[in-house]
Structure 1
Amino acid sequence: MSGIYIHIPFCKQACHYCDFHFSTSLKRKDQMIFALCEELKIRRSEVADYEIINTIYFGGGTPSILKSEEIRFIIDTIYETYLVADEAEITLEANPDDLTPEAISIWANSPINRLSIGIQSFFEEDLEMMNRAHSAEEALQCLQLAAAHFDNISIDLIYGIPGMTIDRWKQNLELALASKIPHISSYALTVEPKTALDAYIRKGKIPAPRDEVAQQHFELLIDTLETAGFINYEFSNFGKPGFFSKNNTAYWQGKPYLGIGPSAHSFNGIQRSWNIPNNIKYIDALAQKELPREIETLSTQDRYNEYIMTGLRTIWGVSLTKVLQEYGDSYHSYLLQHAQRFIDKQLLTIEDNTLLITKKGKFLSDGIASDLFFLNLT
C-alpha cells in the first residue's frame, strides 16, 4: 500500500473554476473529522499486516482551513491504526491566506514535512478572476515564511488564463523560481461543467481559454523550468532531483492507495472505489460504521487503458515488456501498430523497450494516449 489520501471537504469560498467536492459551511466539521477517523479504522482490513504506508496526503477542499490539532488528531489515528514508514512523506495542501507565521510554525513542529501551496498566480487580476481567497501579496509572503521552516515545498500555478499574456506568465515563473522552491505543479485552466467559470463564459462575461495560448504557456513552462534544473517527471509536475512528490509518483505508477473522505477514490490494483460526494450522507453512514462507496472491478482492457494514460504522462513511459507480460500479445501488438504513426511524427519514441512521449508530443499526450486505448476487446 503506497499511501493514504485524506479529502478535507471544506473551503472558505468557491473558486470559479473548481469542480472538486467541498462545502463552504463548517457547521459539521467536528463530525466530519470523527467520520474520517472512523473510515480509517474500518478500512484497516484492506491493508495487509506487513504493508507500510509511505505517504499521507491531505487534499481537498482546503486542508489548511482545519486547526492544527484537528489535523494532528487524524494523523495520530493513522499512526495508531497502520504501519507508517519512518520517513513517510506527509503533505498538507494549503492556501496562502491560511499560512500565517504562527500557522507555519505550528505545522513545521508537527509530523507534516511537505507543503503544497495553492498559489495559482502572483497577479491580483488573475486571482480575482478565479475568485481565490488570497492576494498577490499573500502569495509572495507565504513562500518566504514557509521556506524558513520547510525544505520540501510545492506550489500550484495555473496557465492559459484568459487575459494572461505570455509576459505575465513568464513573470509568474520568474517569481516562482526566485522563491527557490523545489517542486512546481502547473495546470492549464480548464472549464468544467456547472462551475461558475462555465456560467460566466456562456454569458459572455469572461472569454473562453484558448488552446493555442495554453500551448504557448506550456512550452515556456517546460523550457524555463528545465533550464532551472527541474525535471518534468509527469505532464503537470516538475521537481528538482530528490523532490519528486512520492504521493504523485505512486499514483502515476499505478500503486495501490486508500482514499478517505467524501468523494475520495481508492485503488487496490484490481478495483477502484469512490466514496459518496455528500458530506451529510458520508457522516451519517460512518456513524453507522458503514462505508458509503461504490466499487468497480477493472477488466484487463480497463487496466491496460489506464496504464497507457498514466504511463505516457510520465518520464517512466509505457514498458512494452509489462504490456506483453500483464496484458498479452494482442494488446502488445495493438499498441505497437497504433503507436507507429505517432513515432513517425516524432511525437512518440521507443527507448530501452519503453514507449515514451517526446518533447514535441507532450502537450498532446492525453490525446495520443486515448488513440492508443484498446476499445474493441470483449
Structure 2
Amino acid sequence: MSGIYLHIPFCKQACHYCDFHFSTSTRKKSRLVDMLCREMILRKSEIPASVETIYFGGGTPSLLSSEELQQIFETIFSNFQVAEDAEITLEANPDDLSEEKIAQLAASPVNRLSIGVQSFFEDDLKLMNRAHNETEALESLQAAKKHFENISIDLIYGIPGLTDEKWKENLKIALELEIPHISSYALTIEADTALEKFIEKGKLQPVEDEQYRRQFDILVQTLTQAGFEHYEFSNYGKTGFHSRNNMAYWLGKPYLGVGPSAHSFDGKQRKWNISNNSIYINSLEMEKIPQETEELSINDRYNEYVMTRLRTKFGVNVLELEQDFGKKYRDYFERNAENFLQQELMLRSDLVYLITKKGKFLSDGIAADLFYID
C-alpha cells in the first residue's frame, strides 16, 4: 500500500495562524500544475506498489479548475497503479464550494471532501482571517452532502475569546449536519505568523493552557458520546469513515509527496521539496527535482514509530517494535513506560501500550519522553 500527496500552494488570502507554504498569487498556477505532473512522471518508480490513497492538500486545492484537476488525474492514472477503491481526498474551503463546483468535483475521481470550516461563528472566522463566512460554512456542507457521502470538516478550539458554550455549539452544529468525520486542532501560535505578531503587540491575549485542555475534553466527550471513534489525537470518525490517508501516515506506510514543500517517505528515507514556487517550476522545467533527502537512523525511525503510534488507537506493539528495531529498543521502551503506567497515563493490554483517557492531552509529551536519544 502506498499513497500520493499533492501540495497545491495557493490561497485567496493568508489565514492569521497558518505557517504552511502557499502564495496568494495564482499567476503561476497553470505552470505549477504542469510541473506537478512532470514531477510525478519523473518519480513514478518511487511508488512501485498499488496507490490506495491520493490526497490534495495545501494551500487550497479547491482553487484548481476542472481542467487542471483532470490533467493531474490523467497523469496519475497513466503512471501509477491506482486501486479501484482508492480514497481520493481534496481539501476545500467553503467559499469555493458552489453547487456547480461541488458537482464538478463529484464528476471527477475525488470521492472524499475535507472542508476547512474551522468555526461556524463569524467573529472567530474574522479573527483567523478566513476567506469564508458562517453562512458559506453551513451552505457548503449542505450542498456537499447532496453529492458526497464521505465528508470531513476541520474545527479549531483554543481560539482567543472562544467560550466553552460557543465551542459546544460548534460541535452541536457539526453533529446536526451529520458530518461523519471531524478533524479538530488546537489553535497554535506558529512563528512568523500574523497571530504571533498580534499577541506580541498585545492586540490579542494568549490562550491559557487550561482553555485548551478544557475544550479538548469537551471535544472528546461530545464526539465519543455521539458515536465517533477517537482513533487519533486530532481525528474522530464514524464507522467506515476513518481517513485512510491519515491512517497510512500514522502506520508508517510509504507515500510520494509532489509539489513545493511536499514531503515523501519510503520507510527509511524522508525527502522534501523546496518551499518556493518559482524555483520549483524552474527546476522541473529543466527536469531537476528541487529536493533534499534525509536518511533516517534507526533511532529516528524508532522515535517516529513511538510518536505516531501513541497518538492513535493502535498504540505501541512491543513485539512489532522488537521485530522492527531490535530487543534493545523494546527493553528501553518498556523500562521507560513503567512510570507512565504507574501514573495511569498509559495502560498495557497484552503486547500493546496505549495512552489512557487521562493521558490523551499529554500524548505528544509522553512520546517525547520515550524517545531514544544517544
Task: Give the TM-score of the pair, scaled to structure 2.
Answer: 0.99
Which of 74, 89, 92 is matched with 1:91 structurally? 89
Which of 341, 344, 347 is matched with 1:346 structurally? 344
Structure 2 Cα separation of the partners of residues 67 and 44 of structure 1:
24
Please report how far the alpha carbon of residue 149 of structure 1 lies from its aligned counterpart in structure 2 after TM superposition.
0.7
Structure 2 Cα separation of the partners of residues 284 and 353 of structure 1:
51
Please report how far the alpha carbon of residue 188 of structure 1 lies from its aligned counterpart in structure 2 after TM superposition.
0.2
Structure 1 Cα separation of the partners of residues 113 and 68 of structure 2:
17
Instruction: Kindly tell me the number of residue pairs found equivalent between the two proteins.
Output: 374
Structure 1 Cα separation of the partners of residues 348 and 101 of structure 2:
48
Structure 2 Cα separation of the partners of residues 123 and 266 of structure 1:
36
1:338-377 aligned at under 5 Å gives the runs 338-376=336-374
SS at match of 2:261: coil
SS at match of 2:167: helix
Which of 268, 276, 281 is matched with 2:266 structurally? 268
Can you list the C-alpha shifts for 1:313-356, whole angstroms capped at 9, x where unaligned?
00001110011111112211111111111100110011120110
Aligned match of 2:153: 155
Aligned CA RMSD, in angstroms, stands at: 0.7
1:77-156 aligned at under 5 Å gives the runs 77-156=75-154
SS at match of 1:222: helix
Please report how far the alpha carbon of residue 47 of structure 1 lies from its aligned counterpart in structure 2 after TM superposition.
2.1
Structure 2 Cα separation of the partners of residues 327 and 21 of structure 1:
34
Q: What amino acid is aligned across from residue 69 of structure 2 in structure 1? A: I
Aligned match of 1:3: 3
1:190–1:209: 8 Å Cα contact kept in structure 2?
no
Q: What amino acid is aligned across from residue 304 of structure 1 in structure 2? A: Y
Can you list the C-alpha shifts for 1:23-70, whole angstroms capped at 9, x where unaligned?
00011111100000000000012122xx11001100000000111221
User: Is it true that 1:304 corresponds to 2:302 in the alignment?
Assistant: yes
Structure 1 Cα separation of the partners of residues 231 and 71 of structure 2:
33
2:32–2:277: 8 Å Cα contact kept in structure 1?
yes
User: Is it true that 1:39 corresponds to 2:39 in the alignment?
Assistant: yes
SS at match of 1:70: helix
Structure 2 Cα separation of the partners of residues 228 and 76 of structure 1:
40
2:2–2:47: 8 Å Cα contact kept in structure 1?
no
Structure 2 Cα separation of the partners of residues 259 and 207 of structure 1:
37
Greater mean alpha carbon deviation, residues 37-46 or residues 322-331: 322-331
Structure 1 Cα separation of the partners of residues 119 and 183 of structure 2:
12
Stretches of structure 2 that go unaligned for 5 or more consecutive residues are none
1:93–1:118: 8 Å Cα contact kept in structure 2?
yes
Aligned match of 2:211: 213
Structure 1 Cα separation of the partners of residues 2 and 311 of structure 2:
20
Q: Which runs of 4+ in 1 moved over 2 A?
A: none
Structure 1 Cα separation of the partners of residues 64 and 207 of structure 2:
33
Aligned match of 1:246: 244
Structure 2 Cα separation of the partners of residues 158 and 81 of structure 1:
37
1:195-210 aligned at under 5 Å gives the runs 195-210=193-208
1:10–1:23: 8 Å Cα contact kept in structure 2?
yes
Aligned match of 1:318: 316
Structure 1 Cα separation of the partners of residues 67 and 30 of structure 2:
12
Structure 2 Cα separation of the partners of residues 39 and 208 of structure 1:
42
Can you list the C-alpha shifts for 1:289-327, whole angstroms capped at 9, x where unaligned?
111000001010000000000000000011100111111
Q: What amino acid is aligned across from residue 194 of structure 1 in structure 2? A: D
1:189–1:209: 8 Å Cα contact kept in structure 2?
no
Structure 2 Cα separation of the partners of residues 116 and 60 of structure 1:
11
Greater mean alpha carbon deviation, residues 319-328 or residues 52-61: 319-328
Please report how far the alpha carbon of residue 375 of structure 1 lies from its aligned counterpart in structure 2 after TM superposition.
0.5
SS at match of 1:194: coil
2:47–2:255: 8 Å Cα contact kept in structure 1?
no
Structure 2 Cα separation of the partners of residues 148 and 249 of structure 1:
26
